[in-house]
Amino acid sequence: MSRHVKKSPSLCTDRPLDNADICNKLSLLRQLLASCFGPTGRLKQVHNSIGGCVVTTSTSSVLLPAISSAQPFVNLIKSSILNHVSRFSDCGLFAATLCLALVERAKQSGLGGNVAIGLNKHLLGLCVSYLQREDCGCKVKLDFGSSQHLVTLARSIISSKPACVLTEQETLHISKLASQAFLLTLPCANPGTVTLGRTVTASVEGHSVLASAVFPGLLLDVTGALCPHKAESLNSSPMCVVLFSASLAGDLPELGDGIVEVPSGVDTDSQILDQLLELGKQAVKDEVKLFVCQKVIHPVIQQYLRSQGIIVIERLGVTLMEPLIQLTGAQPVATLHSTLPAKAYGKVRDLSIRQFGSKTMLHLHPPGESAICTMVLCHRNETMLSELKVVCQKTENVLRLTLREPSALLGGGCTETHLAAYVRHKSMNEVTETAAVLGCSQSEYLLGVEGFCHSLESVAKALEHNGGNSFIDLTHAHHWTLRADVMSGCMEDMTGLCGCGLVEGSPSRKWTCLNSKYTEFSPASPSRDSPVQPRVLDSFTAKLNALQVAVETANLALDVFLLVTFLNVSMVIDSG
Ligand SMILES: [Zn+2]
């Protein structure tokens, strides 16, 4: 029997960004993401309708996958931002809010799609070449001679994730740990190809954040599996380690490749157990002190090895295998059919036991330099701990980006306002020639510049969530906020600091409301000799890429000429 389904006609939406429904959805998405932005961003709770795990977050990499929409535009922007975050770990919300603001402004300005796209490309080029200049006023060279810049960069990322629920002191503690962990993963003495080490994260729930710590080497959770006094007695260095990736449970299907010859009438189980015991005996003979298996070890073997004074760890899991191989130099044994080759053995210099709340950890010290370290993260409950874990991993990735480009951008909205002022000034001086090159009128050009700068400023403005007012100073073009209860007329009396903390308020300084008209000026760079250090820094590499992604994605959305929706599948056609 066959069933015929009448094919529904495809739904075509001409110039989709002229469609009010689509524009409303994009505007809603912008408001949603902008409301999460920065240290005081509002948290979102993500859960499904049938119960299960509830996630509290403001992180784009957690939030965006949870937003499902039938609207292809929403999905286009979502996948573009997620792709950026998967590569650069930071500035996802910046990219998303800037992209959506650019689309919204371009539509409001009434500029033709092609004109807006051409202008956005040109202005992006201005920004990128300015950011890459040595004398760029919103960039700082990172000083690896001290940990201050690294800690500031880490702190800016960690403090912008309020779902971690950290006090000032806890934020600083975790920022220092993240910087310390990053430095421990940099190999020092090896000439030739440099391979970065790695940070393994262990989490302990129900403990104070301030109990979190970083250790060189590897900490393995051995709660309930080990007699501590045995480990303490085993500190004759260095110690021999053997590591199995094959199961030692004694089950036939888990024996791996090879042939097992079983004469008729013989008990297979005891044959296999005998074979495993032979391996155990060899390990004892070869003076193995630490016997680790990725999977399960038969209780009889465990008993035998322990009786010989060997520390046994089973069910290590696949994620810890690689760091353990790197640390010990052991080659994991994948088959049980031969004797253990000498090259399978690895070494550790020292073993000790560490206690974190109810967790017992075995601390393995590398025999030489290994660039492996363990970050033990503690937090009061599971939700906060899982957000803290995500944030620390992102921070590590961002710190690693500084090896590629040892610079950072000023945070707190100052890079956005400074860039907007720079673009305004630069483009005012080239109206006639650039408008001619781009094939648009001078008034269209000015409208496009205003839309672009306004979008950048709106991202800085989005950092404020408590009804405060945003300002820009007319010397350095940095970003300032005043609490909602302070009259904006009192601006001249303001003696605080700008968003990044580099510029100090003074009575002679002039400010204007952000997004109000001001006479364009060339924004000055803060003095490089000043002892004042920025308090908020953003990753240069991540933000530069986020800026490019935001403008390119906005241009792609502006370029869509026809939206064709099939019954179940949507297709987007670019304009030709
Ligand atoms: Zn600043």
DSSP 131: H
Looking up tokens 């002190």 gives: 289
Between 227 and 395, the higher pLDDT residue: 395
> Which pair of structure tokens corresponds to residue 368?
């030489």
Give residue 14 CA to ligand 1 midpoint distance, Å.
Answer: 44
Q: What is the pLDDT of residues 387-405, one digit of tens each?
A: 999 999 999 999 999 999 9
Higher local confidence (pLDDT), 516 or 412: 412
Helix (H) or strand (E) holding 538: strand 537-539
pLDDT higher than threshold 60 for residue 230: no
- Distance from C-alpha of 14 to C-alpha of 185, rounded to nearest angstrom: 53
What residues are neighbours of ligand 1 (ion), with CB under 5 Å? 414, 478, 498, 500, 502
- At 254 the pLDDT is 54
Output DSSP code: residue 195: -
Choose the weakest-confidence range: 190-204, 358-372, 484-498: 484-498
Tell me the average pLDDT of the chain.
88
57 CA to centre of ligand 1 in angstroms: 27
CB 501 within 8 A of CB 412: yes
Please state, in angstroms and rounded to a whole number, the distance separating the CA atoms of residues 45 and 523: 40
With beta carbons less than 8 A apart as the criterion, state whether 557 and 17 touch: yes
467: CA distance to ligand 1 center in Å? 20
Q: How far is the CA of 411 from the centre of ligand 1 (A)?
A: 7
pLDDT at residue 576 above 60?
Answer: no
Cβ atoms within 10 A of the Cβ of 339, count?
A: 10
Residue 410 has pLDDT above 50, yes or no: yes
What single-letter DSSP state applies at residue 366?
Answer: P
Q: Name the CA radius of gyration of the chain, rounded.
A: 30
Confidence (pLDDT) at 305: 93
Pair 106, 554: CB distance under 8 Å:
yes
Domains of the chain, start order: 11-137+411-574 (1.10.560.10), 143-217+376-405 (3.30.260.10), 218-369 (3.50.7.10)
Q: What pLDDT is recorded for position 269?
A: 78
Sheet containing 218-221: order of strands:
218-221, 359-365, 350-356
**Ligand 1 centre from 505 Cα, in Å?**
11
Tokens in use for 447? 């409208």
Q: Which of 209-223, 353-367, 518-532 is the least confident region?
A: 518-532
Kindly report which listed range (141-145, 235-239, 256-260, 367-371) carries the lowest average pLDDT score. Answer: 256-260
Please say whether the beta carbons of 500 and 412 come within 8 A: yes
| Gap from CA of 138 to ligand 1 centroid (Å) | 8
Contact 350, 236 (CB under 8 A): no
Closest CA to 287 of 362, 349, 345: 345
Lowest-pLDDT range, 44-48, 162-166, 203-207, 319-323? Answer: 44-48
Ligand 1 center to 417 CA (angstroms): 9
26 pLDDT more than 50: yes
> What pLDDT score was predicted for residue 258?
59
Centre of ligand 1 from the C-alpha of residue 164, in Å: 25
pLDDT digits (tens, 9 = 90+) for 448-499: 999 999 999 999 999 999 988 899 999 999 999 988 777 656 666 566 899 9
Q: Evaluate whether 71 touches 25 at the Cβ level (below 8 Å).
A: yes
Distance CA 177, CA 215 (A): 10
Q: Tell me how far the alpha carbon of residue 257 lies from the centroid of ligand 1, in angstroms.
A: 63
CA angle at 120 for the pair 114 and 126, rounded to the nearest 5°:
140
CA of 503 to the centre of ligand 1 (A): 6
479 C-alpha to ligand 1 centroid (Å): 6
Side by side, which strands form the sheet with 311-313? 311-313, 288-293, 239-244, 346-348
What is the pLDDT confidence band of residue 3, given thresholds at 50, 70 and 90? low
Q: What's the mean pLDDT in 548-569? A: 86
Q: What is the pLDDT of residues 256-304, one digit of tens each?
A: 555 656 666 667 778 888 888 999 999 999 999 999 999 999 999 999 9
Per-residue confidence (pLDDT) for residue 558, from 0 to 100: 94
Contact 124, 21 (CB under 8 A): no
For residue 356, pLDDT beyond 80 = yes
Residues 6+ positions from 250 with CB-CB distance below 8 Å: 269, 272, 273, 276, 298, 301
What is the Å distance from ligand 1's center to 119 Cα? Answer: 27
φ and ψ of 368, to 5 deg: -135, -150
Instruction: Give the separation between CA 537 and CA 559, rounded to whole angstroms.
Output: 34
Comparing 103-117, 255-269, 394-408, 431-445, which segment has the lowest mean pLDDT?
255-269
